[in-house]
Structure 1
Amino acid sequence: MAVDPVVYGASDRQPRGDYTRAGADYTCPQDYDSYTAVDHDTYRRLYARQAALLPGLACDEFIAALPSLGASDHIPRFEEINDRLRKATGWEIVTVPGLIPEVPFFTLLANRKFPVTDWIRKPEEFDYIVEPDVFHDLFGHVPLLFNPVFADHMQEYGKGGLKAHGLGACEQLSRLYWYTIEFGLIQQQNGLRAYGAGILSSSGELQHSVQSPEPQRLPLDIERVMRTRYKIDSFQQTYFVINSFQELFDKTAPDFTPVYERLQGLHDIAADARLAEEEAIQH
């Protein structure tokens, strides 16, 4: 059964990836034999650069879990990661050819399966790529799936996504994903740290999000997040901060239906907006 690729955001550009390989649920086998020596070297260099930046910038849970990915000098085989991941939290990673639609994405998460793109960026895209590739998905997302609380949160997000789709509220829920799972910060005893995959897989954003005085950092407020637009082509100008993964789980566990109802008719908030009544977390 052929499936259609997903157009990213408002772009008319077709995403990469061979969608003829995908089944009805958008998963497919990892095409490991297609990786070239250049591909493996790109992964090795990306991993080495990011790993060197983590101390003092990434959260403790991420740093502790990163070795569970296994080899850092070549693209890992997904089944080898799954041997460890299933034992740790009951999750597994599944291969997808690229971005997939909302319902298949939410369905996979609800069943403790995380979709990982298997192609990797070209060397000339080393510093920035719009679409998530295998490095972003593996390095940025998968380590925290070894954390039991975060792993449970991801499954609940998937279940909530299926409900949001039925309520026409996927835009609001996608903003929650963006500002937590992709670009979230956490306050640890030793200071502010990153846990979002979009931050952890980007050398520039990792330093900007934690160290720069420019962006505003706000305590996580679900309704504020769901009203806030975001940008995909620049560093974030607003970050939302949690104090623990348990707080993230607890704040996202309730039924969001009343929240979606309250947000109807309210205007969106710009990604860089600074509201007078808000008290930002001091850098």
Structure 2
Amino acid sequence: MAVDPPLPPAFVSHVHDVPPPGAAPDWTIPQNWDDFSAADHAVWDTLFARQVAMLPGRASDAFLRGVDVLRLERPGIPDFRDLNERLMAATGWQVVAVPGLVPDDVFFDHLANRRFVSGNFIRRADQLDYLQEPDVFHDVFGHVPMLADPVFADYMQAYGKGGLRSLSFGSLEKLARLYWYTVEFGLVREAGGLRIYGAGIVSSYGESVFALDDPSPHRIAFDLERVMRTDYRIDDYQQNYFVIDSFEQLLDATLHTDFAPLYARLQTVSDIDVAQLIDSDVLINLGTQAYAASR
């Protein structure tokens, strides 16, 4: 969903109202790995080398294990046929190529059936630090290693099933915040400190440093209802990061919450602005918000 820095869907070019020519009814398309150019593969290799050099000690153990298990260190954009053999063996998930952003119901249905959708294009060499939309590097390098972790893989499937249910409650915006603050921009307590697991962070060189080291953002202990009330930035680095104690905590919160009364309750309370703190917050770091104030 997000890149460095993320931008709203209105600015995204790979958007279609219906499946474009060549796409199946579920919006999937062949990856056509042989069609990627040498320049495309070189961009992947440049991004990959830069991220893996700085992520040890920053990324969660689950993410780093996933990179190894899936053998993403091989040169070039991964061939989904090879990648899916290893991912299916690990957790029963697979990656499917799509032409761009897909409708919400399609996205949720793929997740609910342990399929992760990936854009089938990669940024240009002059876009290494800035891209308006999620490409194959964000989707595969950022997201897929975590899908090799059994607990997180189950969380993602549970999220997809919950997403399909949310459509009948008119609560998509609330549930989207959970995805944003966990799958895209989540932090986890680990090894006596904080580590990154969110794809929007691990695929961004700048935010990989900012999320852990900069004094500007608030770092707040995860609370499901608090997260689902909280607005977020879509145009720059985050002003809040929510911290889980474990991936089991995330899965349990999803599986053991009755979302129908939660959605009803969320309709009766106000949203929480970006960077706003509330009395019940458990603060890990009180941010200065200096970065946001300077923008």
TM-score, normalised to structure 2, is 0.89
Equivalent residue number for residue 21 of structure 1 = 22
Contact residue 12 and residue 133 of structure 2 kept, 8 A: no
Pairing partner for 1:280 from 279, 283, 288 = 283
**How much does 1:276 deviate?**
4.7
Specify the SS of the correspondent of 2:284.
coil
Q: Distance in 2 between matches of 1:35 and 1:140?
A: 19
Q: Which moved more, 1:210-219 or 1:45-54?
A: 210-219
Matched AA of 1:266: V
Q: Tell me which residue corresponds to 1:81.
A: 83
The aligned counterpart of 2:156 is 154
CA distance in 2, matches of 1:182, 1:114: 14
1:257 aligns with 2:279: no
The Cα shift of 1:16 comes to 6.1
The answer for unaligned runs of 5 or more in structure 2 is 1-6, 287-295
Equivalent in the alignment of 2:270: 267
Structure 1 equivalent of residue 193 of structure 2: 191
Q: Partner of 1:63 in structure 2?
A: 64
Secondary structure of the 2:82 match is helix
After the TM superposition, which of the residue ranges 118-127 and 267-276 deviates more from structure 2? 267-276
Give me the whole-angstrom Cα distance separating, in 1, the residues matched to 2:194 and 2:114.
Answer: 29
1:11 aligns with 2:14: no
Residues 15-60 of structure 1 show CA distances to partners (whole Å, capped at 9, x for unaligned) of 2689323211011110222211111000000000000111121011
| Inter-partner Cα distance in structure 1 for 2:249 and 2:23 | 36
* In structure 2, C-alpha distance between the alignment counterparts of 1:90 and 1:219, rounded to whole Å: 30
The CA distance in 2 between the partners of 1:252 and 1:229, in whole Å, is 20
Change (3 A) 1:67 1:12: closer
Identify which of 55, 77, 96 aligns with 2:98.
96
- Matches of 1:115 and 1:75, distance apart in 2: 15
| Paired residue total | 276
| In structure 2, distance between residues paired with 1:13 and 1:144 | 25
In 1, the alpha carbon distance for the partners of 2:248 and 2:221 equals: 14
Question: Match of 2:78, SS?
Answer: coil
Give 1:106 shift.
0.3
1:238 equivalent in structure 2: 240
Matches of residues 207-222 of structure 1 in structure 2 within 5 Å?
A: 207-222=209-224
- Preserved CA contact (<8 Å) 2:91 2:148: yes
How far apart, in 1, do the equivalents of 2:164 and 2:203 lie? 27
Q: How does 1:108-119 map to 2 (within 5 A)?
A: 108-119=110-121
The residue number in structure 2 matching 1:38 is: 39
> What is the SS of the residue equivalent to 1:149?
helix
Distance change (3 Å), C-alpha of 1:33 and 1:158: same
Aligned counterparts of 1:267 and 1:10: Cα–Cα separation in 2: 24
Contact 2:12–2:132 (CA under 8 A) maintained in structure 1: no
Please give the alpha-carbon distance, in whole angstroms, between the structure 1 residues aligned to 2:144 and 2:250.
Answer: 17
Cα RMSD of the aligned pairs, angstroms, is 1.7
Name the aligned partner's letter for residue 263 of structure 1: L
* Runs of 4+ more than 6 Å apart: none
List gaps (5 residues or longer) in structure 1. 1-7
- Residue in 2 that maps onto 1:163: 165
Measure, in 1, the Cα distance between the counterparts of 2:148 and 2:281.
34
TM-score normalised over the length of structure 1: 0.93
Asked if 2 retains the 8 angstrom alpha-carbon contact of 1:185 and 1:195, the reply is yes
Q: Greater RCO between the two (CA within 8 Å, min separation 6)? A: 2
Deviations 1:117-153 (A, max 9, x none): 1100111111021211000011010011111100011
Distance 2:278 2:250 in 1: 23
- The answer to whether the 8 Å contact 1:47/1:72 transfers is no
Specify whether residues 91 and 165 from structure 1 end up closer, same or farther in structure 2 by C-alpha distance, changes over 3 A only.
same
Alignment match of 1:140 (pick from 139, 142, 145): 142
Is the CA contact 2:15–2:102 (under 8 Å) kept in the aligned structure 1?
Answer: no
Query: Are the aligned partners of 1:216 and 1:239 in contact in 2 as well (CA < 8 Å)?
Result: yes
**1:3 corresponding residue in structure 2:** none
CA distance in 1, matches of 2:181, 2:132: 17
